Amino acid sequence: MSSQVDGNDVPHIARGLEGVIAAATNIAEVDGEKGKLTLRGYDISELAGNVSFEEVAFLLWHGKLPTQSEYAELMDEMRAARELSAESLACLHDVAKSTSGMHVLRIGASTLSIGDGTVDSISKEDNLKRAARLQAQMPAIVAHSYRIGKGLPIIQPKPEHGLAQGFLYMLEGEEPSQARIDGLNAYLVAVSEHGLNASTFTGRVVMSTNSDMVSAMTAAICALKGPRHGGVPGPVLAMLDEIGTVENADPYIRNEMTQGRRIMGFGHRIYKVRDPRAAILTVAAEKMASITGDRHLLDLTQAVENTCVKVLAELKPGRDLYANVELYAALILHSVGVPSEIFTPIFGIGRTSGWTAHMLEQMDETKIIRPESVYVGPRDRKFVPMNAR
């Protein structure tokens, strides 16, 4: 199949690599038609609410859920590894007062190779340990840099804290409620892995060169920073604040669509039905609301979703635009009580498990990822000296 570009026949170009199968994976299956996400063969709805985030990370890395002893060993390993090096902390102190969010996460993540004597090893065993260490340290980068940026001292988690509890404690210096821990844990499970998305693909490309896992993760963070990929939960919350009431949902959405503006938290390149991760986070939000008694934002979010699906079907029939994970991510993260400016970095904490699982899998491949391009620029140009141009 070919097309015409400037009068020349060129092969079909899969823009954005859409429809191109670039990897065979055992990690996750994303079924856009059925709205189904499976991790290592488990429907994500089987995992959400039944396992901790650390169990899901183990599953992604090892291909099976941990036994009680394996889980205890992983928790000990991650707790021992989560403190940042003096050099990483010095870097955060240098940059966190002048930049924030994903910029700090990118810079901080790149320092995690410091002091790692086997960082360039391509041993699977070394990199399994590295995956657990990087996962343990990512929450510290986000929490510490946030506090430094606010002029507050950093706080280390307690020995007994798991990842979600420890992150909230590092962020605030107070023991979080179980409802908030459960809400954040549900969010991290929901975003832990999602197939060959832009950031995961970026990480696999870097790993395919036999580069190191820290470099590959830093590159993945760079891809996640882009608002087309990971920067939507904050704007979703701003949209919900602007709508304000359930009654205002219909006129707001109609006006935005008439003006040609995008409705935040709707539509997905893969899913043609409701994002299954939105369903998981809806359940988590319902649980939190039943404990706190505060349903305002949940009711508003559900009203916006129902109204938007109705209006989209009316004004853009056949487009298959439904709620994606970002709509309910904004709700759950706000309910947990974390600042909106670190919504995307928190996404990065959760997705580290999936990124590193794909990096481990990519190590088994023998070919570097190197797609081809088609040249469509000018030809047969003749050199002209500078004084004659």
Residue 89 pLDDT class (50, 70, 90 cuts):
very high
Q: Which residue in 194, 268, 334, 358 is the catalytic one? A: 268
User: Long-range CB contacts (< 8 A, 24+ apart) of 133-136?
Assistant: 133/77, 133/78, 133/81, 134/109, 134/213, 134/214, 134/217, 134/352, 134/356, 135/57, 135/78, 135/163, 135/352, 135/353, 135/356, 136/77, 136/78, 136/79, 136/81, 136/82, 136/163
Question: Hunting for tokens 């009580």 — which residue is that?
Answer: 337
H or E element, residue 204: helix 198-207
The tens digit of pLDDT for each residue in 130-189 reads 999 999 999 999 999 999 999 999 999 999 999 999 999 999 999 999 999 999 999 999
CA-CA distance, 301 to 304, in Å (whole number)?
Answer: 5
Residue 251 pLDDT class (50, 70, 90 cuts):
very high
CA-CA distance, 127 to 138, in Å (whole number)?
Answer: 16
Q: Which two tokens stand for residue 182?
A: 């459960």
Domains belonging to the chain, first-starting first, are: 45-229+340-362 (1.10.580.10), 233-334 (1.10.230.10)
Q: Which residue in 54, 305, 326, 361 is the catalytic one? A: 326
Q: 94 vs 108, 155, 358, CA distance in Å?
A: 11, 17, 32
Q: Which two tokens stand for residue 347?
A: 């996404």
Establish whether 358 is a catalytic residue: no
C-beta separation of 142 from 105 below 8 A? yes
Local structure of 375: helix, strand or coil: coil
Establish whether 326 is a catalytic residue: yes
The tens digit of pLDDT for each residue in 259-292 reads 888 888 887 878 888 889 989 999 999 998 998 8
Q: Is this prediction's pTM over 0.75?
A: yes
Local structure of 73: helix, strand or coil: helix
Write phi, then psi, for 307 (nearest 5 degrees). -65, -45
